[in-house]
């Protein structure tokens, strides 16, 4: 079922989209304690298209700032290095993967992905989990490995979807017997190639196996794991299957969640769902409405 080909793709991950030099440099500056907002502005301002996308998103309903942010430097000061890096990365990712023909819908895929990011943020904020802005980015990227399989192994991907529908199983269950490497590992390898933070790599690798996550990333992994399942239960977009997995007890305990607080968590997520549409509208505008 194409396992050798998939292994070759993963083994030579440089065949996949690589981070543009601008985004790579911004990523380096985020980890540089001597870097300033002006340094990031100098890098991003050389890419007019990226600058425009960042300012559009910063000034969109997704962030909801009362006053217009007119410069990248201002955006960095208001939002912080990490958030601006994640916005730049989002803009790149949404253009890099041409998924207009995705069987369960390009828009549905990104609605689910953005929804998981918003839900992960809501979980963290509601319970005081120090997971930071990476929660949203990890939610946005958590299923990016599926797009790799779709683009490079279209026939195998279609066969997996057919089995998912026929047997009412999850994509993960179908992958386990049809592919040598699943979307979680593929996504993690891609994040490693892009030299993104280890915690983000861990989320992509373990979001379906939170009990196996390294301790330093356990809360972030747990938040995205639970957010993914809650987003499925709330029918927010689609990840390609209909079955709702059981939440990992380890993830639930890591976050300190309980059945009693679940209604409040769901209320928080529902309150932020309007942001998903705002983000998706910007995605469509920036990606030529695929």
Task: Give the chain's domains with CATH numbers.
Answer: 3-15+99-286 (1.10.3210.10), 18-96 (no CATH)
Q: Round to whole Å and give the CA distance between 51 and 54.
A: 5
Please name which of 90, 271, 123, 226 lies closest in space to residue 79, comparing C-alpha atoms.
90
Is 50 exceeded by the pLDDT of residue 3?
yes
166-185 burial string, b = 16+ CB within 10 Å, else e? eeebbbbbbbeebbebbbbb
What is the predicted pLDDT for the residue at 107? 84
Is 50 exceeded by the pLDDT of residue 280?
yes
Q: Round to whole Å and give the CA distance between 257 and 223.
A: 10
Q: State mean pLDDT over 181-198.
A: 92
- Tokens representing residue 286 in the block: 């920036």
Is 50 exceeded by the pLDDT of residue 290?
no
Q: Round to whole Å and give the CA distance between 244 and 230.
A: 9
Which pTM value belongs to this model?
Answer: 0.89
Is 70 exceeded by the pLDDT of residue 1?
no
The pLDDT tens digits of the residues spanning 108-146 come to 998 999 999 989 988 887 766 555 668 888 999 999 999
- Where does the chain have alpha helices with state H? 3-11, 21-30, 37-44, 48-58, 72-79, 81-96, 106-127, 134-141, 144-152, 154-167, 171-178, 183-193, 198-206, 218-233, 249-255, 262-286
* Higher-scoring residue by pLDDT: 62, 70: 70
Neighbours of 159 (CB within 10 A): 15
The pLDDT tens digits of the residues spanning 236-267 come to 999 999 999 999 998 988 888 777 778 888 88
Going from the C-alpha of 122 to that of each of 4, 235, 267, 274, the distances in angstroms are 40, 17, 9, 13
Q: Round to whole Å and give the CA distance between 15 and 9.
A: 7
Residue 290 gets which letter from DSSP?
A: -
257-286 burial string, b = 16+ CB within 10 Å, else e? beeeeeeebeebbeebbebbebbbebbeeb
Neighbours of 104 (CB within 10 A): 18
């Amino acid at each position: 079922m194409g396992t050798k080909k998939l292994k070759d793709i993963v083994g030579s991950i440089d065949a996949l989209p690589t981070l543009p030099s601008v985004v790579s440099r911004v990523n380096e500056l985020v980890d540089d304690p001597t870097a300033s907002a002006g340094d990031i502005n100098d890098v991003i301002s050389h890419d007019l298209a990226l600058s425009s996308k960042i300012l559009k998103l910063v000034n969109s309903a997704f962030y909801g700032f009362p006053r217009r942010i007119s410069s990248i430097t201002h955006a960095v000061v208001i939002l912080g290095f990490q958030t601006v890096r994640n916005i730049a990365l989002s803009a790149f990712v949404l253009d890099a993967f041409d998924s207009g023909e995705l069987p369960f819908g390009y828009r549905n895929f990104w609605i689910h992905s953005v929804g998981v990011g918003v839900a992960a943020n809501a979980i963290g904020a509601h319970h005081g989990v120090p997971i930071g802005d990476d929660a949203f980015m990890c939610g946005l990227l958590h299923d990016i490995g599926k797009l790799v399989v779709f683009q490079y192994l279209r026939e195998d991907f279609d066969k997996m979807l057919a089995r998912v529908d026929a047997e009412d199983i999850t994509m993960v269950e179908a992958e386990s017997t049809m592919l040598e490497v699943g979307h979680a590992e593929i996504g993690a390898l891609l994040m490693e190639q892009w030299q993104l933070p280890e915690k983000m790599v861990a989320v992509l690798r373990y979001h379906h196996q939170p009990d196996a996550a390294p301790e330093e990333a356990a809360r972030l992994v747990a938040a995205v794991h639970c957010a993914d399942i809650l987003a499925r239960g709330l029918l927010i977009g689609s990840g390609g299957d209909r079955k709702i997995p059981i939440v990992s007890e380890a993830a639930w305990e890591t976050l300190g969640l309980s059945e009693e607080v679940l209604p409040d968590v769901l209320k928080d997520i529902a309150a932020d769902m309007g942001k998903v549409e705002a983000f998706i509208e910007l995605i469509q505008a920036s990606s030529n409405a695929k």
